[in-house]
Amino acid sequence: MPYLFVAPNMLIFLTFIIWPAIRGFQISFFDSMDGRTFTPVGTGNYRAIFSDPTIAEVAKNTAIYVIFYVIISTVLSIAFALIINEQQFAKGFFRAILFLPVMLSPVVVGLIWNDVLDRKVGPLNSLLEALGGGSPGWLVEPTLGMIAVIFVGVWVHLGFYSIILLAGLQGIDRSLLEAAAMDGATRLQIIRTIILPLLKPTTLVILILATIHGFQSFDFIYTLTGGGPFGATTLIVQYIYDRAFQTPIQYGLGSAAGVILFMIIFAFTALNFLVGKKRQAI
Amino acid sequence: MSNRHDLLGEVTKSMKIKKLRSKIAIAASLVLSAGLVATGLPSAQAAGLQPTAKQLAEWKGKTISYYFYNDSQAELDTTKKQIAAFEKLTGATVKLDVIPFTNYDPTLQARLAAGNAPDVARLNNPGLYIKDSLDLEKYLGRKYKNEFLKGSTLQVTHPTTKKLIGVPYDLTVNGPFINVDMFKKAGVAVPTSWNWAELIAAGKKVQKATGSEYAFAIDKTGHRVSTVMSHFGAYMVDKNQRNVLPTSKFRAEKAVKMITDLYIADLAPRDLWIGTGTKYSSPTAIFLGQQTPIFFSGNWQVASLAKDAKFDFAAVPNPKELNGGGWPGGKFLTAFNTSKTPDLAAYFVYYLADAPQMEQMDKDAFWLPVRVDLVAQGVKYATRSSDMAVFQADAARTPAAAYGIQSVPTLTGLIYNNLRDLMTDIMGGKITAKEAIAKQIAFIDTQLATLKK
């Protein structure tokens, strides 16, 4: 009987997640320019990826993006969750404001920030110029381009992570915090020694989610920078997209890159999970 | 080359003998009209192909999908009207899928791979779909291709079977637009002829006088840059599918350096070119926002500029160096061989490309005609006729060598995109113009070698 209840969900999961994943793995050993005729190439696609001169740059970009994105979004979401948790008035309003970017379409996010970050007529540079800060080329300088996409990535997901952490915070027994306060613990001590350790399981979820989101980032980056300037914001998913859907179409190569991405995400998620579990046991 | 030259030749010749052909066309239309009155057939069927009663019975209630993108609202509005008329005529339903141009080909290719091909599509790169296109001659006859300018059917002729696998839908010509108000404010005369040095000088002068952000902007595509190269006498592929860039590499370097220098000097919108990665982008919004007095694009922009520009603008002649004129392009209609109702799909292509519909679209959306009869009689544009006359004149001035690259329809997109990306690298100081052209020569060689495999 329980299997019957989960059957509809499982059917959707198998059809739209598992089956395409298996097909993707299978296609990664073929060469196909049209998705209908397949020529077996063995591990040729994997070898082609690792000998592609652009893959090192893409891997470096992805690593930089994921590291900074995960650290910044985790730290900031904890900070915002703590602030909102302590908020006495208009708590719902601030929560809604924080969550607003999550509800925006990634394409819209990319377009909005593309306008905001425009070097000559963007409002950000107008403000910076008024303050005597010059006109940084956010979308034309490689380093600034990477900073811009990390910032926008964090901006998009911050509300989502903060809400999850807020739920975790509200699950902490208030009596523990009150007892610590009565014993003379400062606000910082309470956060460091009680709240953060108790928030570890939720933080682990955030770390895993942020890592996955970081590796999968594509849509808003594609709209914001198109992977530029000079390929500085081309991450692994855009690499897959370009191989699979831009001429000359190479579905096999795109699938092989997808398999590699899956293995990387799987390894990081497993590592996060194992480290978190080990620490919890200690 | 003669085939491509034919297109230009036909345009030029047709202008000269326009009056004579007009008389013939009027006489022919009188005969046709008499026939129509007698038979009571709708005008769409007048040109020859008429669905049989059996076909009409079979088509009734059937649905076909039309994969479409539009450069202007006028194109979409007219298409919708024509679809409504087609549905009334045939009893079939046409599902219009309007797709943004930026992801047009990737989306269509994904649909084809997924077995979800549309029945009919408007294409600007038909070479990508040669294997998937329906042999239109089977449904529309071998002589049907003669209804179109000879050169314009090359890109929709199957490379081996030589059968017609699509029809030309319009002829596009690249060229510059200027903001007349800004030119007037700066005291710069509207050019009737100029070279590139004069164009850049005028742009700088207007920029200085009006305080605009830029002096010049060009669509971010190798297709548009090829126009500039053509002005300097540089070409990439000839009609015999040969790499001819080595023979004009110094001219190509000059053209590419001139454009990239404008971006490096911040006289052109660097953010739009560099900051959009490997995507196509057009500075239309920058021109509409009066941030640049000169915008290099093509005639397909006339309709949207006429609708959205809050200032007086004009199409002006292409600059002339060794050559003048524009750079050819166009859109095509193709039916797919996976269609469940191929005869209906073919008839829909025929209907849209038939003289009455094509003339209406040419007028509404400021397209240049590709039908022999419309070229002969001339299209009378209700507004912006002076702009269209500029493009028509530039079409006639376009060198025959500019059509050479159309001999490799499956490679044109790749060659143009590589040129675009190399220009990005020049702007970023990663390579010089000389190195870029050397890389482009090597790239074209590699691509042409794939044709022989």
Is the CB of B421 inside 8 Å of chain A's CB atoms? no
CB contact under 8 A, A226 and B131: no
Sign of CA dihedral B198, B202, B208, B214: negative
Q: Single out the residue of B416, B409, B449, B451 nearest to residue B130, CA to CA.
A: B409
**Structure confidence at residue B13 (pLDDT):** 47
Q: Give me the residue from A114, A229, A248 closest to B274, CB to CB.
A: A229
* CA torsion, ordered B396, B399, B401, B403, to nearest 10 deg: -30
Could you tell me if B341 and B139 are in contact, meaning their C-beta atoms sit under 8 angstroms apart? Answer: no
**Chain A residues close to B109, C-beta within 8 Å:** 34-35, 245, 249
Q: Which long-range contacts (CB under 8 A, 24 or more apart) does B421-425 make?
A: B421/B278, B422/B256, B423/B222, B423/B225, B423/B256, B423/B259, B423/B260, B423/B273, B424/A228, B424/A230, B424/B273, B424/B274, B425/A230
pLDDT average, residue stretch A123-146: 91
**Structure confidence at residue A141 (pLDDT):** 92
pLDDT range class, residue A33, cuts 50, 70, 90 = confident
Give the CA distances from residue B441 to residues B243, B403, B446, in Å, rounded to whole numbers and listed in that order: 7, 18, 9
Q: How do residues A36-87 score in pLDDT, each as one tens digit?
A: 789 999 999 999 999 998 999 999 999 999 999 999 999 999 999 999 888 8
Let me know if residue A6 belongs to a domain.
no
**Chain B residues close to A230, C-beta within 8 Å:** 274, 424-425, 428, 430
Let me know if residue A11 belongs to a domain.
no
Let me know if residue A8 belongs to a domain.
no
Q: Single out the residue of B261, B265, B304 nearest to residue B285, CA to CA.
A: B304
Could you tell me if B167 and B353 are in contact, meaning their C-beta atoms sit under 8 angstroms apart? Answer: yes
Could you tell me if B293 and B183 are in contact, meaning their C-beta atoms sit under 8 angstroms apart? Answer: yes
Q: What is the mean pLDDT of chain A?
A: 91
* Tokens found for residue B26: 């009027």
- DSSP code per residue over B62-104: -EEEEEE--SSHHHHHHHHHHHHHHHHHHS-EEEEEE--GGGH
DSSP A136: -
- Note the pTM of the prediction, 2 decimals: 0.82
CB pairs under 8 A between A and B: 81
Residues 6+ apart with CB under 8 A from B250: none
Q: Give me the residue from B112, B213, B417 closest to A121, CB to CB.
A: B213
**What does the alpha-carbon distance between residue A50 and residue A257 come to, in Å, rounded to a whole number?**
10
Between A251-281 and A236-245, two packed helices, what is the crossing angle to 10 degrees? 160
Could you tell me if A199 and A169 are in contact, meaning their C-beta atoms sit under 8 angstroms apart? Answer: yes
CB contact under 8 A, B109 and A249: yes
Cross-strand pairs, A67:
none
Is the CB of A24 inside 8 Å of chain B's CB atoms? no
In tens digits, chain B (453 residues) has pLDDT values of 334 344 444 444 444 444 444 443 334 333 333 333 333 233 333 445 778 888 899 999 999 999 999 988 999 999 999 999 999 999 999 999 999 887 788 889 889 988 899 999 999 888 889 889 999 999 998 899 999 987 788 888 887 888 999 999 988 999 999 999 999 999 999 999 999 999 999 999 999 999 999 999 999 999 999 999 999 999 999 988 999 999 999 999 999 999 999 999 999 999 899 988 878 889 999 999 999 999 999 999 998 999 999 999 999 999 999 999 999 888 999 999 999 999 999 999 999 999 999 999 999 999 999 999 999 998 999 999 999 999 999 998 999 999 889 888 888 889 999 999 999 999 999 999 999 999 999 999 999 998 876
**Structure confidence at residue A78 (pLDDT):** 95
Which residue's structure tokens are 């126009």?
Answer: B227
Label residue A42 left, alpha or beta by phi (over 0 means left) and psi (-120 to 50 means alpha).
left
Let me know if residue A178 belongs to a domain.
yes
Let me know if residue A131 belongs to a domain.
yes
CB contact under 8 A, A35 and B112: yes
Let me know if residue A15 belongs to a domain.
no
Q: Give me the residue from B269, B274, B414 closest to A228, CB to CB.
A: B274
- Residue B167's H or E segment, with its range, is strand B167-179
Q: Which long-range contacts (CB under 8 A, 24 or more apart) does B19-27 make?
A: B21/B376, B21/B377, B22/B376, B22/B377, B22/B378, B24/B376, B25/B373, B25/B376, B25/B377
List all residues of chain A from 221 to 260 with a beta carbon under 8 Å from chain B: 222, 225-231, 233-234, 242, 245-249, 251
**What does the alpha-carbon distance between residue B355 and residue B44 come to, in Å, rounded to a whole number?**
8
Q: How many domains does chain A have?
A: 1
**Structure confidence at residue A24 (pLDDT):** 92
Query: What count of residues does chain B have?
Result: 453
Let me know if residue A157 belongs to a domain.
yes
Domains annotated on chain B, with CATH: 2-172+329-393 (3.40.190.10), 173-328+399-452 (3.40.190.10)
Give which of B220, B276, B424 to mutate to test A binding, by max A Cβ within 10 Å. B276
Which residue's structure tokens are 């009207």?
Answer: B81
Could you tell me if B215 and B293 are in contact, meaning their C-beta atoms sit under 8 angstroms apart? Answer: yes
* Tokens found for residue A183: 């014993």
Q: How do residues A154-172 score in pLDDT, each as one tens digit?
A: 999 999 999 999 999 988 9
Could you tell me if A252 and A31 are in contact, meaning their C-beta atoms sit under 8 angstroms apart? Answer: yes
Let me know if residue A9 belongs to a domain.
no
Query: What is the residue range of A274's domain?
Result: 21-281
**Structure confidence at residue B211 (pLDDT):** 95
**Structure confidence at residue A210 (pLDDT):** 95
pLDDT average, residue stretch A196-217: 92
- DSSP code per residue over B290-355: TS-SEEEEEGGGHHHHHHH-SS-EEE-PPP-SS--S--EEEEEEEEBTT-SSHHHHHHHHHHHHSH
- The alpha-carbon gap from B19 to the nearest alpha carbon of chain A, in Å, equals 45
* CA torsion, ordered B108, B111, B116, B119, to nearest 10 deg: 10
CATH number at residue A166: 1.10.3720.10
